[in-house]
Chains A and B, each alone.
Chain A
Amino acid sequence: MRRIDWQVYARNDRYYIRQFEEETNLQALVALDTSGSMRFGLSTVSKFEYARRAAACLARLLLHQRDAVGAAVLHDSSPAFVPARQNASHLQSILVALQNATPSEGGSLPTQIRSCIPRMRRRGMFILFSDCFGDIDELATALKVVRARGHDVTVFQVLAPEEIRFDFRHWSSFQSLESAQRLNLDPASVRDGYLKQLRTFLDRLEEAITGIGGDYVRTTTEHDLAETLGFYLRGRAANGHVGGNVTDRMVTL
């Protein structure tokens, strides 16, 4: 009887049992990968630009819900970190941090992820925007650590359409964006092998992320950002995500 919420009964003439009452605000950290590979973009905006915009939109979304949002620019030499705040004016700080972020030559994404863990004092969400190129195992280990701290992990893998299709027809010189490596070859002759490699990587990546209980969203820079985020949000709402202490309801954009 003591659990019955009489105020609700008085209003609705229905009995509701209050099990517990707690703070509803979410704490989220949007992390932006600034590795060199994120600079790639031929027919569309670069992956870095696309990811940065997605991170900004998501941050705004969370702030609008009175959730606390912080931002992390993952950079080897000059990382940036904006602690989570709840007030709407905090968005400006986040946007400034994102605006000032620049892609680097290289970097170890797993290491950079680990460096964010101490800054997440309360359980919340860790939302990563990256192409995730690199060692899957190391990345998965780093994300597992994040998850083990009670955070929800969401990985937005941003790829370019050229990376997915590899429809190059002429002899080309592929210059690495992260090193001095250069490959001169006939793209059509290696397409089959390249796609197999990429497909295997993506499958392993998805399996690794979902295996630790995280959310995995893959998109390309040619897709509309609103649809991409909307897809993600509907997915979370459909799942009735109640894991941890995260509110399961977000106001629709």
Chain B
Amino acid sequence: MSFFLSSVFLAALPLAVAPLLLHFFDRRRNVVIEWGAMQFLQEAATRRTSARRLQQWLLLLLRILAIAALVTALARPLLPGQWLGATDRRETIFVLDNSLSTLRQAGDVSLFDDMIAQAEQAIEDLPSGDTVRILIASPYPVWITPASVRVDIGSRPDLRDQLRALRPTHGTSDLLASLLKVVQSDIEDETLMERRIILMTDGQGADWNTSDEAGWQRFRDVLAEVHVPTRVDIVKPDATVVSTTNIAVNGIRTSRSVVGVNQRFTVTAQVRNFSRDESAASSLDWSVGDESREQSNIPALDAGATYDAIWNHSFDRPGVFTLSCQVAADDDLQPDNTATVVVEVVERIPVLLVEGSTGFAEIQQDAYLVQAALGRVDGQDDQNWRAVFEPRTIPPRRLETIELDRFRVVVIPNLTDLSQEAVSRLSDFVSGGGGLWLALGPRTDVDRFNRYMFNDGDGLSPVSLDRIVDERRGPTNSTTINPFLKRHPATADLADDDKLDTGDVKVTRRMRFHTSAVSDDVSILLDLTNGEPLVVENYFGEGRVIVQGIPLRLQWSELAMSQAFVVMVHDWLSYLSEPGATRRNLQPGDPIAVHVGKTRLRDATLTTPAGEDITLTGEPVDDGIEFRTSRTILPGTYTLEFGLSGDGVPFHVARDPGESDLSALTATDRRFLSETAGLGREYTETETAGSNQRDPVWPLLLMLLIVIMVAELLLSGVIARNRFGTDPISDTTEQWAGAAPLFGNISATNESSSPDPLDEPLRTKEQVIESGQRRSDLVS
């Protein structure tokens, strides 16, 4: 441990002898002067006082000390111990695991409450002067304290209140991300001696993400680079106290997210036994809003086993409804016994059918059977039954002009050819979330399809067309749809071979796709028993496209006559219309986006599962206002209210089912964390924090430097005054008595009556004699 924060400056310490060197260098420059006034110099040299010598040596010493003080201060030395009387300065950071699993009970209180109580006590035990920060780990790491808080009599109650205001979430904790955030945080106090991270967790293994080896290695590297000694203490409850018995609803789904009025749909809830032991039989309660509607029995489940409870329901009015289920299980973690899904019930879903044979009788038209599957005959709905989908039929040329945004899906039952303009408009439609169902037939122009619909892989179709294949040339004169369908949400019902005849549908002719274009990346909804794909899917922008190799009529196959046809039409229309519908069942982080038609509303309020209200401002879009937010990281039910109506539109963010697995870290996980991340030391009450505090000295050195410089200046002044302050000796005789001085005042100031003889003109000797200026006293 270095005693200097910037020890590189110590390399300049030899400069301190520079004044001494200059002094000796100056002495070596002995200038020889041949001198005449030796007698005075001898006496002066003899009388040179020791006091003056002392002054000169003292000045030299001050200069040396000044340079040494400056260089040492730049090196920022630290004194060990408490030489300067300062107290320990240490930072304690609490990382709190507030995931769903901390809501399980440990005795009379939940694990989270117990964790908070321990944190409060730890803060009380911290000495005044230490600093504290708090970070919660779920659903993602967030600082509760924006900066370090110094512990004192005033801050302890505030910290206590902040801890007590925390609540667990229904999400998971990312402990790796939390620890990384802490060790990477800035150290505001450069004199900090130690940093202690106290991780309080319930010990659930799922929160540790031990599969991310690279992440933990990086944590270890960052920890090693921190220049302040940092240690991580893990606080977790006694394993014998904490139960891992848990029955949870993993998730709930519906066969359709948008259903029509009185249209039956299926709700499926998956229940899982996360316990180590077999669970007792229980029941599952279905409710709409707060109203209980149905109950399902849940049998006893083995450890780790799942059970799907099914409920069929319909709504008799349009609206957005919240369906929930709750398993009545006696376990220690109740919040995961419930699951919720939001269903939108609509009157009608507009669908556009492109009819290429408008000149024929209706029964001969391509779209006839599709309309019949939707309960529409002779242009009118069946009085006894009405599908939620409301079809409208147009000729192909109308695709260039009609407003496609009014429809959710466009169906072309027997594709012939489309203009480039129509293809372009369909591309825009699908990109914006619309659905497109293309059924190929005998009149499909393969070349134009490949050029405009496939477009080298950038078009609406995921595959290019090869040619029409006649299956009747095979040994069986036909081929059938493969009954072992891939698990795809659009074919879930079609896969029910007991109820439907999907596997019996014979196909005599079809449009074959280029096999080279059908890669593993292409989604196949239906294939044939000969292995060839029959129906493929493409994701184009926000929408979906289904391309099938047979038309939606009695041509080339028996599909339109089968029982599966109606189910297929309804299921695939629902599937294709989903992207265009408002997504109400989200994963954490998915955006909530609601489009409202022309309205004066500009603001909406989103209420989060934590009870927080967020104001959203609508953005103008083409034909209305859109409200959008991505603040959906917290699992639970969100409610969006427009204006002051008071009626909220629900959205639901699903929780991670993995959080229901209460298994603790395995021995392998602990070994991994110890070896890879250097973690594993556990905190006990007997642990004492070592005082390794060091105090900064450079402020004192800088003050000393100032004092030295002032002293040097004063002493230099004294010496200079002694050397050169002596009054100079006049270099001429003082003013001659009665005469003008030699320099500067040539004009006579003589007050004598005698004129200045130098001012008189020259005269001859005789004149001098005559004027009586011989050596005789002449008296006039």
Chain B residues with a Cβ under 8 A of chain A: 26-45, 47-48, 52-53, 56, 722-726, 728-733, 736-743, 748, 750, 752, 754, 756-758, 762, 765, 768, 770, 772-780
Given the complex of chains A and B, what is the CA–CA distance between A152 and B40 in angstroms? 30
> How many Å from the CB of A20 to the closest CB on chain B?
6
* Interchain CB contact (< 8 A) of A234 among B29, B35, B758, B780: B758
Looking at the assembled complex, report how far the CB atom of B388 sits from the nearest CB atom of chain A, in whole angstroms.
108
CB of A249 within 8 A of CB of B36, answer: no
Q: Find chain B residues with CB under 8 A from A13 CB.
A: none
Whether B776 contacts A164 by the Cβ 8 Å rule is no
In the complex, given contacts A40-B35, A191-B726, what are 17 additional A-B residue pairs having Cβ atoms less than 8 angstroms apart? A19-B778, A37-B38, A171-B29, A176-B36, A177-B36, A178-B36, A183-B41, A190-B48, A191-B723, A191-B724, A218-B730, A223-B742, A233-B758, A234-B739, A238-B756, A239-B739, A249-B757
- Determine the chain B residues whose CB is within 8 A of the CB of A237 once the complex forms: 739, 756-758
Given contacts A37-B37, A216-B733, contact A172 B45 (CB under 8 A): no
In the bound complex, residues from chain A placing their C-beta under 8 Å from that of B35 are: 40, 174-177
- A sample of 21 cross-chain residue pairs with beta-carbon separation below 8 angstroms, ordered by A number, consists of A47-B36, A161-B731, A168-B33, A170-B26, A171-B27, A174-B41, A175-B32, A175-B34, A184-B30, A189-B723, A191-B44, A193-B43, A195-B729, A234-B756, A235-B738, A238-B738, A238-B750, A239-B736, A239-B737, A249-B757, A252-B757
CB–CB A194/B44 < 8 A? yes
For the complex, what is the distance from the CA of A193 to the CA of B722, rounded to whole Å?
Answer: 10
Main secondary structure of the interface of A (DSSP, over half): mixed
Query: Interface code A68-105, partner B: CB below 8 Å = 1, 0 otherwise?
Result: 00000000000000000000000000000000000000
**Shortest Cβ gap from A232 to chain B (Å):** 8
A190–B726 alpha-carbon span in the complex (Å): 11
Q: Which of the 9-residue segments A50-58, A139-147, A198-206 touches chain B?
A: A198-206
Partner of A235, one of B45, B739, B762: B739
* A24–B769 CA distance with the chains assembled, in angstroms: 10
Give residues 127-176 of A contacting B (CB, 8 Å): 131, 133-134, 159-161, 163-165, 168, 170-176
Q: Which of A22, A194, A220, A252 has the most CB of B within 10 A?
A: A194
Given known contacts A197-B43, A235-B736, A238-B752, A24 and B775 CB-to-CB distance under 8 angstroms: yes
- Distance from B49 Cβ to chain A, minimum over Cβ atoms (Å): 9
Kindly list chain A residues whose C-beta atoms are within 8 Å of the C-beta of B722.
Answer: 192
Cα distance A217–B26 in the bound complex, in angstroms: 39
A18 and B438 alpha carbons, distance in the complex (Å)? 161
Against B, the Cβ 8 Å flags (1 = close, 0 = not) of A116-136 are 000000000000000101100
In the complex formed, the residue of A with least CB distance to B721 is A192
**Are A39 and B34 in contact, with the CB atoms below 8 A?**
yes
Establish whether residues B40 and A198, one from each chain, have CB atoms under 8 Å apart when the complex forms.
yes
Contacts of A2 in B (CB 8 A): none
On whether the beta carbons of A22 and B775 are closer than 8 Å, the reply is yes
A245 at the B interface (CB under 8 A): yes
7 closest Cβ pairs, A-B complex: A37-B36, A193-B44, A235-B736, A40-B36, A238-B739, A194-B44, A197-B40
- Closest chain B CB from A154 CB (angstroms): 12
| Contacting pair B728 A164 (CB below 8 A) | yes
Query: A196-230 CB contact bits vs B (8 Å, 1 = yes)?
Result: 11110110001000000000111110110001100
Chain B residues near A219 (CB, 8 Å)?
Answer: 731-733
- Which residues of A are found within 8 Å of B33, using beta-carbon distances? 42, 168, 172-175
Contacts of B772 in A (CB 8 A): 8, 16
A17-B779, A39-B36, A40-B35 known; A170 vs B29 contact (CB < 8 Å): yes
How many residues on A have C-beta within 8 angstroms of the other chain's C-beta atoms? 85
Q: Which residue of A lies closest to B722 (CB)?
A: A192
Tell whether, in the assembled complex, residue A252 and residue B723 are in contact, meaning their CB atoms are under 8 Å apart. Answer: no
Whether A218 contacts B732 by the Cβ 8 Å rule is yes
A185 within 8 A of B: yes
Whether A19 contacts B777 by the Cβ 8 Å rule is: yes
Q: Does B737 contact A235, Cβ atoms closer than 8 Å?
A: yes
- CB-based nearest A residue for B738: A238
Chain A proximity of B698: nearest CB distance (Å): 36
Residues of A with C-beta under 8 A to B39: 133-134, 197
For A17, A176, A190, the residue with the greatest tally of chain B CB atoms inside 10 Å of its CB is A190
> A163 CB to closest chain B CB, in angstroms?
5
- B736 and A231 contact, CB distance less than 8 A: yes
* A21 with B776, Cβ < 8 A, contacts A172-B32, A191-B724 known: yes
**Residue ID in chain A nearest B37 by CB atoms:** A163
A173 neighbours in B (Cβ, 8 Å): 30-33
Interchain nearest-CB distance for B52 vs A (Å): 6
Given known contacts A189-B56, A190-B45, A36 and B728 CB-to-CB distance under 8 angstroms: no
Q: Tell me the minimal C-beta distance from B748 to chain A in angstroms.
A: 8
The smallest beta-carbon distance between B734 and chain A, in angstroms, is 9
Assess the B38–A174 pair: CB atoms within 8 A. Answer: yes
Interface centre among A163, A183, A189, A196 (most CB of B within 10 A): A189
Bound-complex Cα distance A235 to B732 (A): 14
Contact (Cβ within 8 A) A178 B38 = yes
Q: Quick one: which of A172, A173, A192, A227 has the most chain B CB within 10 A?
A: A192
Which B residue's beta carbon lies closest to that of A160? B36
Complex: how many Å from CA A42 to CA B32?
12
* Complexed CA–CA distance, A175 and B52 (Å): 24
Contact of B36 among A24, A38, A223, A232 (CB under 8 A): A38
What residues on B are CB-neighbors of A184 within 8 Å? Answer: 30
Task: Provide the residues of chain A in CB contact with B30, threshold 8 Å.
Answer: 171-173, 184
Question: Cα distance A8–B729 when bound, in Å?
Answer: 52
- CB neighbors of B among A19-70 (8 A): 19-22, 24, 36-40, 42, 47, 66
